[in-house]
Amino acid sequence: MNVIPSPLHMLQRAHSAFDMKTIERALNLTRPGGFVPQHYDVDPHTGFFPPQPLPRLPATHAIWEDALLKAQKCLFLAENQSEQALAMRQQGECWRDAIRSWPVLSAVSFNSDIRLLQRAHLVLAWILHFYTHSIPRTYSNAPLLIPRSIAIPLVAVSRELGIAPVLTFADTVLWNWDLVDPEHPLSVENIRTQNTFSHTETESAFYTVSAAVELKGVEMLQIIEAYMNLPNVTERASVVKIGRDLIALAKIVKELTEIFNTIRGKIDPETFYWMCRPWWEGAEVKGSQPGWIYEGVANSASLDLGGPSAGQSSVMHALDLFLDIDHKLAQKRQPAPTETNKKAEQGFMERMRRYMPGKHREYLARVGAVPCSVREVARTTPCLQEPYNEVVAALKHLRDVHIRIACLYIVNQSTKAPPPESGVPASEVRKAADGHARGTGGNPTTVLLKAGRDATHRAMLMDG
C-alpha cells in the first residue's frame, strides 16, 4: 500500500539528509551585509533588553534620581483615602512643589550615550506619573499642567530616542531592573524590579512576567534573524531550515503561553486593577477628564501620551510581523472579519509601536519589510504549511489565554467595589462612560483583543 507522507514526515526526512551545520554552512547565515539586529539595539542574548542594568544618571542630574527615590517613599495614589495616605498628603505636596521649582536641566550631554538617554527617560517618565496621579482630585475641567522642569527634558530625551514622552513598557519592564547577582548575566531568575508605584508584589510580578515573555522571546528573534539572512528562501536547504525553525517556534509560543498561565498565581486581580493600573494611565484615557499640557513644549496636544501597555512588547510585534498576521485587515483572508472585529481599532498595533524605542521600531519595520514573508514561502511549499499553521495555532491559543486574563483582571474588576487595602472609597468605580472596560491604551478591551485573536486565526493556510 502506498502511504502518502505527511508534510511533517517530509521535513523529518529532509532533516536526516542534511545535518544542521551543513545546512547553515550552505546557507552562509553570517554573510556580510545581512540583517544585523545589533544595528537596531537588539542584543543577540538579551533581545530588546539592554545587556546590563542602565547606569544611574551623573551627579549633574542627581535631583531627578533623588526625586524618583523620594516619590516611592511619600506619594500615594490620589484616590487612596486611607489614613496613611492622608497623613502623607503634605509631604506629597512638598515633593510636587519641589518639582515645580526645579530649573530646566538639559540632557543634551547624554545624547552620545543611549543608555543614559534611556535612564533619563525612565526617571522623568516615572516622576511624571508619580506627579500626575498623586495630585488630589479636584474634578475641575482645567487641563493638568506638567511642569516645564519635567516636560521639556522628557520631550527632548524622547525625541532623541524616538519614543513617546510618557511612561512606556520600556520604562516599566525593559529598563526597570537590577541584577540580583551582578556576577551572573541577565536572566529571568537573576533580575529584580527596580521601581514600583504601589510597593506591591503584584506590580513587581506584572513587570517580571512581562520580562519573562521578552526574554523567552529572544529565541524567536534568533529564528527571525536566521530567516532574514537566508540567501534564497526557496532553496532546498533553506526550506529544511525554515521547517525546523517553525517547529521550534511553535514550541516557544507554547512556552510563552505557559508563562501567561503563571499570571493567575502571581498577580492579584484586585491589587492589579485598583492599586497598580491607575498609576499607568496616560492622558488619553481620561474620557471626560482634562488632558495634560506640557509646559514650555510647542504643540503639546499632539504628543503621544497613552501610557504603558504590554501591547508595546516588541517581541510580540516581531512574532506577528514575522508570521504576517494582518491586524489592519488589509488583506482579504478567511474567515471574513465579523462586524465586531471591524469595530476594533485596526491601527492599534502600529500606534503601540510609537511607544517603543525608535531603534526597536526600525527593527520591526525591517522584519515587516522582508521581500518574501515566511507565510508566503509556506503557502507555496506544501511541506511548510503544517509547521507554519502550528505556530499560528499556538499564537491564537496564546491570545485566547490572554483574553481570559484581560477579562479577569480588567473587565470583571471594573464592575466590582475596590478592596479595603486600596484605600479607594467604595463609590469609585473605574468604568469608561460607554460601559466598556478599557485597557491602558484606551480601547474597549475585549473587542480589541478578540479582533487580534481573530486576525491571528485568519493567517492560517487553509489548504495545508
Number of residues that bind ligand HEM (CB under 6 A): 26
The Cβ-side half-sphere exposure at 174, using a 13 Å CA radius, reads 32
Distance (Å, whole) CA 322 – CA 336: 22
Contact window for ligand HEM (CB under 6 A) among 29-37, 75-83, 160-168, 308-316 = 308-316
The grid cell for 186 is: 541577565
Distance (Å, whole) CA 18 – CA 241: 10
Distance (Å, whole) CA 120 – CA 105: 11
Locus of grid cell 467604595: 426
Q: Does 311 bind ligand HEM (CB under 6 A)?
A: yes
Spatial contact of 409 and 267, defined as CB atoms under 8 Å apart: yes
Whichever of 78 and 352 has its CB closer to ligand HEM, that residue is 352
Whichever of 10 and 406 has its CB closer to ligand HEM, that residue is 406
The residue among 323, 333, 331 whose CA lies nearest residue 384 is 323
3-state SS, residue 178: strand
Q: Does 213 bind ligand HEM (CB under 6 A)?
A: yes
The residue among 314, 6, 323, 295 whose CA lies nearest residue 165 is 295
Contact window for ligand HEM (CB under 6 A) among 94-102, 240-248, 359-367, 441-449 = 441-449
Contact window for ligand HEM (CB under 6 A) among 47-55, 188-196, 295-303, 434-442 = 434-442
Minimum CB separation from ligand HEM for residue 338, in Å?
A: 16
Phi, psi (5° rounding) for residue 425?
Answer: -60, 145
Among 80, 158, 193, 313, binds ligand HEM (CB under 6 A): 313
Element counts in the chain: helices (H) and strands (E): 20, 4
Whichever of 153 and 278 has its CB closer to ligand HEM, that residue is 278
Distance (Å, whole) CA 111 – CA 160: 7
Minimum CB separation from ligand HEM for residue 343, in Å?
A: 15
Q: Does 144 bind ligand HEM (CB under 6 A)?
A: no
- Does the annotation place 129 within a ligand binding site? no
Distance (Å, whole) CA 133 – CA 82: 16
Locus of grid cell 487641563: 143
CA distances from 366 to 39, 151, 158, 225, 369 (A): 11, 32, 22, 11, 5
Q: Does 325 bind ligand HEM (CB under 6 A)?
A: no
Q: Does 176 bind ligand HEM (CB under 6 A)?
A: no
The grid cell for 164 is: 513617546
Spatial contact of 242 and 375, defined as CB atoms under 8 Å apart: no
The grid cell for 90 is: 503634605
The grid cell for 455 is: 486576525
Site for ligand HEM in 227-266 (CB under 6 A): 263
Among 37, 278, 441, 444, binds ligand HEM (CB under 6 A): 441
Q: Does 125 bind ligand HEM (CB under 6 A)?
A: no
Binding mask 265-304 for ligand HEM (x = CB under 6 A): --x----x--------------------------------
Site for ligand HEM in 366-425 (CB under 6 A): 399, 402, 405-406, 409-410
Which residues lie across from 193 on neighbouring strands? 177
Distance (Å, whole) CA 167 – CA 439: 15
Minimum CB separation from ligand HEM for residue 449, in Å?
A: 5
Among 57, 117, 150, 316, binds ligand HEM (CB under 6 A): 316
The residue among 161, 165, 166, 168 whose CA lies nearest residue 210 is 168
Q: Does 204 bind ligand HEM (CB under 6 A)?
A: no
Q: Does 310 bind ligand HEM (CB under 6 A)?
A: yes
Contact window for ligand HEM (CB under 6 A) among 31-39, 305-313, 355-363, 383-391 = 305-313
Among 195, 390, 452, 458, binds ligand HEM (CB under 6 A): 452
Whichever of 384 and 448 has its CB closer to ligand HEM, that residue is 448
Chain residues in the site for ligand HEM (CB under 6 A): 206, 209-210, 213, 263, 267, 272, 309-311, 313, 316, 399, 402, 405-406, 409-410, 439-441, 443, 445, 448-449, 452
- Please give the annotated binding residues for heme b, written as ranges: 402
- Please give the annotated binding residues, written as ranges: 402
